[in-house]
Every structure is written in structure tokens, then in C-alpha cells.
Structure 1
Amino acid sequence: MRTLFRTTLIALTICLVAVLATVTPGRAHAVGPLPDDFLWGVASSGFQTEGSSPDSNWRRYARAAAKPGASFPDGVGSSVDFRHRYREDVRLAAGMGVTVYRVGIEWARLEPRPGYDEAREWAYYDDLVAAIVEAGMRPMLTLDHWVYPGWIADRGGWADARTPAAWLRHQRRVVDRYAHHRPLWITVNEATAYLMKEVQHGGLPPHLAPVMLDRLVGVHRAIYDHIHRRDPGALVSSNAAYIPTVQPALDQTFLDRVRDKLDFVGFDYYYSVSPTQLGAAQILADRSWEAPVSADGLYYAFRDYARRFPGKPLYVIETGMPTQNGAPRPDGYRRADHLRDLIYWTQRARADGIDVMGLNYWSLTDNYEWGSYTPRFGLYRVDVLTDPTLHRVPTPAVAAYRRIIADGGVGPHYRPSRPATVCSLVAAPSSCTQPVR
């Protein structure tokens, strides 16, 4: 994926830089509020927030990657201890007016050994889902957020032919248990990124990448049908990690193959690219806070999916902005401003007839970002490595999100804090040659 990403960027930059003299950035103009049924959310995952994690593929990856003398030998430790503080975090989300709370249901926690039910952990998820509902929010339940039990890892993970059947057996039980709450469902989180991480950490031999993708397609299709048997009106999707310029090619490996089993198109948007902003490569260097996050790129991602998946509503399952340990970003972009800008471009998409149904902010709190606590995405700051109380400290973005939700978006006179990108390559070439007006 790295080679494809870099090669595509170089080729598109060379081809498109010639049009820079004739392309001008889109002009901001008044936008109306989002509809009353728009879904305002926050997002999290089990492994990244819960702490006290049982044996799993990611518990092993984190332990193997931990530096000698690290505060948490397994690389995870308590994380932000969502496992025991979930009611506090549910209250924080509800206090902002959030209507959707995305959480993960961890297979490794519920079935630590083949066929064994961990009753205490089932009770935890029962109470978590009930707490979200009681707080007036709709759960969004992720069935697979890259984590599977250690005993599945021992058998070869997704390289083992028995894994799809074991996955489906377990996930059908999850669906049967929680379908009556009428949650939104995410089956597999970021399938292509999931595959990349498995290869990167040694959980999957590279030559078996097509096999894993085939199996993920198969389990998505099967669990989609099971969910709809339990709840014919259910809303089910799988979120794609939107990678500028190459997303249509990546979608051919998964999303295009399940398009008939998607009730909406879910995707995650974080980073942008243009001929003058090629810092997205910082993601590969684990310096995500130095990567450009131009908010207008979200508009182009909306437009791209609306064109490629006509008739499907769109939902931003994750979007946000990283900082380095909560310090100001090198580009000076502040989380509250970035959040307002993202919402402006969401309203612009709706104004242009694109059916956007909801948006989740990643994340409610800082958490474990798949190898490090350094990237901070939280609306609430949590200093895991230095604060044993794990106190949730609101950032200015909390008040900003509360006001946005109460007002149904940014006001009609709002102008983005950053101008639209000249020749965005988020959905090249159209995002450059057909800039938003």
C-alpha cells in the first residue's frame, strides 16, 4: 500500500500541477443547518480505550513493540480505563448532545478460550449498551475493530480456514443479544487497513492478503444477512479508511464487493493531499500530527462516494485531528476550528444534494493509537502516562461541539478558518479540476 500511495501521489502531482494556474479555490458561502434527524456522534474502539485487555492478536503486537522499561510492559496497560469508567464517558458524550455513541464489542474479551463464555464481560457490554440507550443515544456497535482472541492467533488468524466460521458463530451471538436495541452496525473496521496492520505485525503472511480480504468479504455478507433477519430495518455498513487519490482502487478489494450489503456507505476521513501539501507521508513515519488535515477534503470524499455509490446515504464513521501529546500543531490548526470547518463542509455537501446522514468525531477521549499514546485525538484530554487518575479534561472542542449540535451546524455566516485547498488531490483528478464553489 505504501508503494501504491507514493507512486500515485508523484504521478498525480506531476500531471495536475499544470492546472494550478487555472484553478482557484472554492468560495465559502452561507449554508443551512443540518436536518433534525442528522446523527451526531463520537467514536471509540474497545482495545484502544478499555484497558486490562485479555490475550489477543493486538495484546501480543503491543507487547512485542513495547520498549524496554516502558510504563506498560504490554504497551496498553489501563489505557483510559473505559472498561470501568464507561458510565462517566457516556455521561460526557450525552452532555454534549451527542445522539450516537460508537463502541466496539471485543471478541477476545467475551470468548477468551474456544467455546467459553466470560459471563462478567457479557454483563459489562450489556450494561454499556443499556447505559448508552438510557442516556438518550443510539449505540453504533463495531463487531471487529482489528482484534481477535489469542487462540485465534495461535491457529493462524485470518490465514486459518476455520476463522470465518468461528467469527460468525460469535458475532451472531452478539447480534442476537443486542439487536433489540436497534443499534447501527459496523461489521469490519477499515478492512484494507486491518489487512495492512496484520501483515505489518506478522499476523498474516503477505502472500495471503487476498485470502484475508476474501474472508472479510464473506463474513460481512453473512453477518449482514443475519442482522437483517433479526431486525429488517437495521442499518449496517463497514467503514473504509479514506486514502486520498487511491481510494477507488482500494474499494475494489472490499467495499465494491459488498455494495449490495451496505445500507449506507461509512468512511473515515482524516488527511488531505495537494501539490503543495505532501505531508501525508508523515503518517508512514508515525508523525501523524504533521500530516495536513485540510477540512475541505471531506467535501471531496463525500462527492466521490456519492458518485460511486449513488443512492446510498453517507456517514462519516470517524474524523478528527491528531496533536502530539496535546501540544499545538506545527500548522497552528486548533481542534475546535478544525471541527467547525469539518461541519461547514458537511453542510456544504448537504446543500449540494449529497445525502449525508451522520458524523462521528474520533474520539471522545485520548486513547491508545495502535502503538503509542503520543497522537492525541480526544475531545477530552487524558494523560495516560503521567496522570494516574486518568482525569478527563475538556478541550475547547467540547464546547464547540456542544454548540454545533445545539445549532444543527455552524451558522449561515460562518466561514472556514482555513481557505479551501488549491488543487486538492483527495479525490483526484476531479477534486482539482472541479473545485467546490
Structure 2
Amino acid sequence: MSKFPKGFLKGAATAAHQVEGNNINSDYWAMEHMKYSSFTEPSLDAVDHYHRYEEDIKMMAEAGLNAYRFSVEWARIEPEQGKFDDREIEHYRKVLECCQKYGIEPVVTLHHFTSPKWLIEKGGWEQEETVELFARYCRYVVEQLGSFMHYVCTINEANMGLQIAAISARYQAQMMAKMKNTGAGKAVEATAKETAKDAEGAVQVGLNMQKMMENMNKQREENIEVFKTPEPQVFVSARTQKGDMLIMKAHQAAKKAIKEVNPQLQVGITLSLHDIQAKKGGEEKAALEWEEEFLHYTPFIRDDDFFGLQNYTRSVYDSDGICAAPAEAELTQMDYEIYPQALERCIRRVYEELQIPVIVTENGIAVEDDRKRVDFIASATDGVAQCIADGIPVKGYFYWSLLDNFEWQKGYSMTFGLAAVDRDTQKRNPKPSLAYLGCL
């Protein structure tokens, strides 16, 4: 017997740039190929989902999943400003038709971190014009593809820029403090690596903090060549408060455009949330963190049709700020504490403030041992089921990710997937966790 009610969306998630390959008109493709790149490796063919989408959708359906969250790529659809590519829209139409063929409900994300390179050259995600440009793109996609969809996420992890700004500031402050007590040479290098590792484990995206800081000055010169500005404002740049509000404006403008085309579409946004906990003395700092990570967005999303919740771990605060994971805690490849209980706690806390349906749009674990993935999914989904039993309208759970794929600046080293991929042959190798999730 399923632990979820009839109609519950049980699926896996991907993002276009991380799985499709050869997204050559995007800002990320440009950054990956820079001489002083912060990326450990370029995405290249990724895992060739662009050509193998039917194989992957069929694999999900055969395992027992009934939903698939994926993104359409703005840089493919509008490779030049104002010029929409009919061939690329047709590609995504075929993906949606394939979902229909296999009984898979699509949940489509319109922006998942990557943007057209031309947008960044115009000022990117700190430029007011981006609101109008994003809404126009969303309108076009829905005009072309809206009849194949029921659920649309406008923007993935809209709060990521503020999280990265906070992490960058904390990294630099920690480095300054540690350097006062550290000698030169190898000791300094070891300190930098240790501090970077701590910082990366506190943000839910693949970053190379040390490399970013080391290359900062050299990158400024190269950025002028590539993006016509020393500080390109890509979606995951450290964001200002003005830029943070611009993201909310973009979401609201996109939702308005989508509803004008197809009022029946269910529209929401996703945020990256930690289960924020406080030790004695850390209550005020924890409350401020929850305000920045979630609460200040609620006035802009309260009227959405659903909320996309993305959670991987917890953050604990004491009087000095964020705490390192407990010494006995097991960490993932991303240096997150393995803490599946965080998801239930986040759902409950979100619903206290924002009483609209919740879809868990991402929740997962990067580990080599798939038995740990199965245990993680079991515990996390038990929490989801308990929330539903208590009357919270959780409409779906999407594991991140369907495939081992390109984890941004960390490249292909992080194994989140329900299926492994041999990148020499692109052969998919389903893991036991895929079948386990399908049977829930």
C-alpha cells in the first residue's frame, strides 16, 4: 500500500543545463570555458538528456514514478534577444508529449539558474529590464506549450543569490580571523581549503568557494572580454537587496503573463530552505536567518497556487552564529549533514506562515553508497506522509536528481542520482533507490 494518497505527484527532478548538454548560448557555458573559471570542468555533452529524454522518461515510468520536474532552457529558446527558436520549442513540445505518452505528469521550471548570455551582457539579474524580458519569455513558452502542462515553477531557488552573498561574506570573515593565527605557506593553503569546505556545506548548490576567491581579480578582466562587464550578474551571483526584490518582481510579472495566456495553469516558485534550528543563545540569529531565507518573500508569493520547497539539510545556530555539523554526523559528498528529518520540519514551518499547497520540488542526497540514499528517501518521505496525515496539503515529492549529472561548479563528481550514467557511453544504470522510490 502506498504511503501517499491517490493523485500525489511522486517523481524525480532535473535541470536543463545539468543534463541536456551543449547549452552553448547560456551564461554558464561561457563561464565554464573561461581561462580562470571557477568550474572544475565544463558541462559539454552533460548526460545527453537532450537526445535521450524518452529513454529517461520511460525509465521513470517503468520504475513506478508518475511525475517529472524538469526545466526548459531560456538560452535555447531565445538565443538572441527577441529571436525565438521554433526548433527548440518543438524539442520541448516533444518532451512534454513523451511525458504524456508514459503517464508522467510534467512540472516545468521556466528558469533554473542559467540565462541567455545576452541577458547578462545587458545587466542580468540586477537590471530592471530583466523583469519584462523574463515575463515575455514565459508568455511565449506558455503560448506554445501551455496546453501540455498543469504545473509551472517560474524561478528555481529564487533566494539563492542572497544565500551566496551571505556565504561569501562569512567565508571572507572566517579567512581573515583564521589567517591571524596561521603561518604562511602550506598552513595558509590548508586553512583556506578548510574554510571553503565549511562554507560550501552551508549552501544548497555546488560551489567552489576557494577557487572563486582566488580567481576573483583575474576573472574581472576576463569577464569584460566575455560579458562586457567586470562583474556579470548571473542568477547565482551574490545578490543585493535590490536584486532580491527584482527576482520577486520577475516572478510576479511572469505569473501574470502565464495566467493571461492560460488561467488554469498552477503557478508557483521554489526556494532553497534549510531546517533552521537554534541552540541556547542562538535564537535571535536563527530567527534572522529564517527571515532572510523565507519570511520576507511571503508577501510576494502568498497568492501563488503552490509553493515549491527545496530542502537538503539543516542549519544550527548558537550565540556565535552557524555551527559546524556535529563531530559524529555523517556528511554527504557536498559536505551537508545527512539529516532527512529536516524536510518534515521545513514543511510544517512553511505551512504555518504560507497556507497554500506545498510541492517538495527538490530533496536528495549525494552519496556513493545507494543504501544510504534509500534510507534517506525512506525517512524523508515518512515525514511527508506524516504532514499529509496531519492535514497539510503536500501535493508532491520530487527527489533530486533522476541522474548523476553536472553539479555546477563541482562538475560531475557529486552523485545525487537515482541512476548512474557512464559518460563514455551515456548508458543509464538505474540504482536500487529508483525502484524503491517507485514502490512507495
Q: TM-score of the superposition, structure 2-length normalised?
A: 0.74
- Assess, with a 3 A threshold, how the Cα gap between structure 1 residues 343 and 392 changes in structure 2: closer, same or farther: same
The aligned counterpart of 2:186 is none
Q: Which residue of structure 2 lines up, in the alignment, with residue 58 of structure 1? A: 28
List per-residue Cα deviations over 1:409-435 (Å, max 9, x = no partner): xxxxxxxxxxxxxxxxxxxxxxxxxxx
1:33-81 deviation line (CA, Å, top 9, x unaligned): 32111111211101111101122221122223777997x5xx1111101
User: Would you say the 8 A contact 1:221–1:261 is kept in 2?
Assistant: no
Alignment partners' CA distance in 2, 1:290 and 1:279: 10
Q: Distance in 2 between matches of 1:336 and 1:287?
A: 14
Deviation at 1:212, TM superposition (A): 1.8
Alignment counterpart, residue 415 of structure 2, candidates 376, 394, 399: 376
Which range is displaced more, 314-323 or 158-167?
Answer: 158-167
Distance 2:26 2:316 in 1: 39
Amino acid of the residue matched to residue 210 of structure 1? Q
Aligned twin of 1:35:
5
Q: Find out whether 1:187 has 2:154 as its counterpart.
A: yes
Are 1:400 and 2:436 matched, yes or no? yes
The answer (yes or no) to whether the contact 2:270–2:361 under 8 Å persists in 1 is: yes
C-alpha displacement at 1:392, in angstroms? 0.8
**Partner amino acid for 1:308?**
E
Q: Measure, in 2, the Cα distance between the counterparts of 1:403 and 1:163.
A: 43
Give the drift of 1:137. Answer: 1.4
Contact 2:309 2:362 in 1 (8 A): yes
- Equivalent residue runs for 1:13-92 within 5 Å: 33-64=3-34, 75-92=42-59
Q: Is the 8 A contact 1:112 1:118 kept in 2?
A: yes
What residue number does 1:128 align with? 95
C-alpha change, 1:197 and 1:51, in structure 2 (3 Å) is: farther
C-alpha distance in structure 1 between counterparts of 2:384 and 2:374, whole Å: 15
The reply on whether 1:307 has 2:352 as its aligned counterpart is: yes
Shift of 1:348: 1.5
Q: How does 1:229-244 map to 2 (within 5 A)?
A: 229-244=260-275
Retained in 1: the 8 A contact 2:309–2:347? no
What residue in structure 1 maps to residue 384 of structure 2?
A: 346
Q: Name 1:433's counterpart in structure 2.
A: none
Q: Decide whether aligned partners of structure 1 residues 69 and 358 sit closer, same or farther in structure 2, where only a CA change above 3 A counts.
A: closer
Relative to structure 1, the CA distance from residue 155 to residue 225 in structure 2 (aligned partners, 3 Å threshold; closer, same or farther) is closer
Gaps of 5+ in 1: 1-30, 405-437
Q: Which residue of 2 aligns with 1:266?
A: 308
The Cα RMSD (Å) is 3.0
Structure 2 CA distance for aligned equivalents of residues 65 and 265 of structure 1: 39
Residue type of the partner of 2:435? A
CA distance in 2, matches of 1:222, 1:128: 26
Assess if the C-alpha contact under 8 Å between 1:321 and 1:338 holds in 2.
yes
Q: CA deviation at 1:275?
A: 8.2
- Aligned partner of 2:232 in structure 1 is 203
- 1:319 alignment partner, one of 356, 363, 369: 363
Structure 2 match to 1:148: 115
Per the alignment, do residues 377 and 262 of structure 1 end up closer, same or farther by CA in structure 2, a change over 3 Å counting? same
Q: Secondary structure of the equivalent of 1:290?
A: coil
Mapped contact 1:281–1:291 kept (Cα < 8 A): no
Structure 2 match to 1:335: 373
1:247 paired residue number: 290
Shift in Å, 1:253: 4.2
The 2-side partners of 1:208 and 1:340 are apart by 36
| 1:219 equivalent in structure 2 | 250
Q: Which moved more, 1:207-216 or 1:98-107?
A: 207-216
1:389 aligns with 2:428: no
Tell me, what secondary structure is at the counterpart of 2:381?
helix
Cα distance change, pair 50–222 in 1 and its aligned pair in 2 (3 A)? same
Instruction: Tell me which stretches of 4 or more aligned residues in structure 1 moved more than 6 Å.
Output: 65-70, 198-201, 205-208
Percent of paired sites with the same residue: 26
Q: 1:207 to 1:107 in 2, by over 3 A?
A: closer
Deviations 1:347-374 (A, max 9, x none): 1212222221110011110111111211
Structure 2: which 5+ residue stretches go unaligned?
Answer: 169-211, 213-230, 277-288
Deviation at 1:189, TM superposition (A): 0.5
The answer for the alignment partner of 1:163 in structure 2 is: 130
Contact kept, 8 Å, 1:195 with 1:212, in 2: the verdict is no
Does residue 95 of structure 1 match 2:62?
A: yes
User: Does the aligned pair in 1 maintain the 2:12–2:67 contact within 8 Å?
Assistant: yes
Aligned to 1:19: none
Match of 1:106 in 2: 73
Change (3 A) 1:65 1:97: farther
Whether the 8 Å CA contact 1:265–1:314 is kept in 2: the answer is yes
Return the offset for 1:400: 0.8
Q: Which moved more, 1:355-364 or 1:151-160?
A: 151-160
SS of 2:80 mapped into structure 1 = coil
The 3 A distance-change label for structure 1 pair 173 and 302 is same
Judge conservation of contact 1:322–1:375 (CA < 8 Å) in 2. Answer: yes
TM superposition shift of 1:208: 6.2
1:325-353 deviation line (CA, Å, top 9, x unaligned): x3x39xxx611111111111111212222
Query: How many pairs were matched up?
Result: 357
Give the letter for the 2:269 counterpart: S
Q: Spell out, residue by residue over 1:365-411, the C-alpha distance to the aligned partner (whole angstroms, 9 max, x if none).
A: 01111112111110001143xxx11111111102211221xxxxxxx
How many Å separate the matches in 1 of 2:253 and 2:6?
33
